[in-house]
Amino acid sequence: MQLQVTNSPFNQEQAELLNRLLPTLTESQRVWLTGYLFASQASAGAAPAVSEIQAIAAAPAAAETVIAINQPAVSKEVTILFGSQTGNCQRLATGFGRKLEEQGFQVTLAAMNKFKTNGLKKVENLLLVVSTHGEGEPPDNARAFHEFLYSKRAPQLENLHFSVLALGDTSYEFFCQTGKDFDKRLEELGGKRLSPRVDCDLDYDEPVASWSAQVLNSLGNRVNAVSGAALAAAATDLANDIAAEQSAYSRTNPFRAEVLANLNLNGRGSDRETRHLELSLEGSNLQYEPGDSLGIYPENHPALVDAIIQEFGWNPEEIVPINKNGEQGSLREALLKHYEITALTKPLLTQAAELSLHAGLRELIAPGKEQELKSYINGRDLLDLVQDFAPWQASASSLVAILRKLPARLYSIASSFKANEDEVHLTIRAVRYESHGRDRYGVCSIHCAERVQPGDSLPIYIQQNPNFKLPANPETPIIMVGPGTGVAPFRAFLEEREELGAEGKSWLFYGDRHFVTDFLYQTDWQRMLKDGVLTKLDVAFSRDTEEKVYVQHRLLEKSRELFAWLQEGAYVYICGDEKHMAHDVHTALLTVIEQEGGLSTEEAAAYLENLQQEQRYQRDVY
């Protein structure tokens, strides 16, 4: 988007300078510039002038002014707490903690469920890095801390200085809700913000770097010990970290993995299609552990892309920006490979209203219309928006400027690296459905099911998940609940245990619709049972009986033995649908513990909470 005097706080000269500069900057340079400006503002107490912007454009140099020492000395101890379901927040918190230590701060880093809340009142500097899960809920390892802050036991925190980094997804109604909750509650308890909360969408590198630079600046001011040059250098280090991540294969620099196999796991006559993909990691130096996920950058459906372009009457070969780094490509390539077109969000509709001549779109996003907006967004895509709110005063470039980057899709890895060196296996169910009179498709699942053949390649990266891991002791019993594609990580678990020669007991609860057509990896489980790798297998096929039976029913049927395994120290793993299955399984576990343990409802809940604290109850749900 071009900066104008009318849509920004800059005058004409500043806007022209920035419009010349910004498209030429790499992501690392943008991050460095963020830190430089914060350091400059801290030392000079003013916004950058035109001459300063000109100097940056011509020859950026580190700020050298030392922050004035005019405040009493305060603690250099910083507590960083993270709440993370998939590992992103933990990784970001750990990296930022290292940067603070390099600046002389004493850092305490912990998952929220490992932090002793009775010590919160003593904390002076608190940083929270947290994602939002499900329908605005805290991730599993942040639930107890969230409940504590909102309880009567939460202390007044007049001496606390805090800042919140929130990760989320704008396609969900309760975007970054957990971070917003923490930010609001800490203020209500008397805390003062070190820097404003930053809410991050899926493409979070730049906002994370900006938040980090602001926090560094605020902490440096508080302790009167960090110079502007040091702050700029720290921001440069953050940029270099991003650059280093981009030079290795990662989320920001995916590896093109060759497809070795693409098989349909469902039998003939099934109303489902589940693909088993085997990808080559040869030459990537990528490795993974059971419990980790694989990210795939998919392509949008060509028919949807062509329909959008045709609706506008544009030339598919018109050149438009394809990312924030100034790279360009054809409009069709941009919509096919680089921008999200299948999900509508309130921020997108708000920006689109500036390009539409249809008054109805402005009415839809008006205050008080939240339910109408939610109803409209549900099940619709960019083509619906384009058709419903014509005419448009949009160019191809102005349209792609309001679209967000096409996000990767994460899938639980279904293989052990030890058993399949230089390979990674996935289990992907094809998503097809009808909505608002038109057929719809899962972006990545249909890409893989219909348009990917052996010999093709997919851009991928490994997403480590430290919160879903096998017990360190291979003799420990494990209980795995994974209906449908939720069984994928347990194939990896058992392959790994087989390679290690682990002798710990294992029990798998698996469910799907029909035994004959939908029993994913049936031959694998049968072989593992025969070889003793898998100790017990209980299945539930919901459509094979008059009364539907699901995995939670099997748990209740086996309650006595299940509780005995828990008492022996078994770990419990849940993978799959969060909204229904995981909730029902959680309830079933509470019932088992209450009945077989002779406990009250409250005691059973505390028992299960303790399992989670000990990392003996782990979930990979979505």
Domain boundaries, the chain: 77-226, 255-298+408-463, 302-402, 478-621
Torsion of CA 494, 495, 500, 502, to 10 degrees: 20
Q: What is the pLDDT of residue 205?
A: 86
Compute CA distances 154 → 121, 161, 188, 446, 610, whole Å.
9, 16, 11, 48, 21
Alpha-carbon radius of gyration of the chain: 26
Query: Is the distance from CB of 261 to CB of 454 less than 8 angstroms?
Result: yes
Q: What is the pLDDT of residue 14?
A: 72
* Mean pLDDT (the chain, rounded): 88
Query: Is the distance from CB of 273 to CB of 267 less than 8 angstroms?
Result: no
Q: What is the pLDDT of residue 497?
A: 98
* Greatest pairwise CA separation for the chain in angstroms: 77
Hey, which residues does 456 pair with through a beta bridge?
A: none
Whether 77-226 and 478-621 share one fold: the answer is yes
* CATH ID of 255-298+408-463, from 2.30.30.280, 1.10.357.10, 2.40.30.10, 3.30.2350.10: 2.40.30.10
Quote the distance between the C-alpha of residue 261 and its chain's center: 28
- Please say if the pLDDT value at position 2 is more than 80: no
Topology classification of domain 77-226: Rossmann fold (3.40.50)
Buried-state track 288-306, b at ≥16 Cβ within 10 A, e below 16: bbbbbbbbbbbbbbeebbe
In angstroms, rounded to a whole number, what is the distance separating the alpha carbons of residues 517 and 274? 11
Query: Is the distance from CB of 260 to CB of 432 less than 8 angstroms?
Result: no
Query: Is the distance from CB of 361 to CB of 349 less than 8 angstroms?
Result: yes
Q: What is the mean pLDDT of residues 200-228?
A: 83
Q: What is the pLDDT of residue 48?
A: 39
Q: What is the pLDDT of residue 206?
A: 87
Place of tokens 């690296």: 417
Q: What is the mean pLDDT of residues 99-128?
A: 94
Q: Return the CATH number of the domain spanning residue range 302-402.
A: 1.20.990.10
Confidence of residue 472 (pLDDT cuts 50, 70, 90): very high
Q: What is the pLDDT of residue 384?
A: 98
Higher-pLDDT residue of 135, 138: 138
In angstroms, rounded to a whole number, what is the distance separating the alpha carbons of residues 5 and 577? 48
**End-to-end alpha carbon distance in the chain:** 34
Secondary structure, 3-state, 102-154: HCCCEEEEEEHHHCCHHHHHHCCEEEEEEECECCCECCHHHHHHHHHHCCCCC
Give 170's DSSP letter.
T
CATH class assigned to 478-621: alpha beta
pTM tops 0.85, yes or no: no
Q: Which among 435, 442, 419 has a CA at the least distance from the CA of 275? A: 442
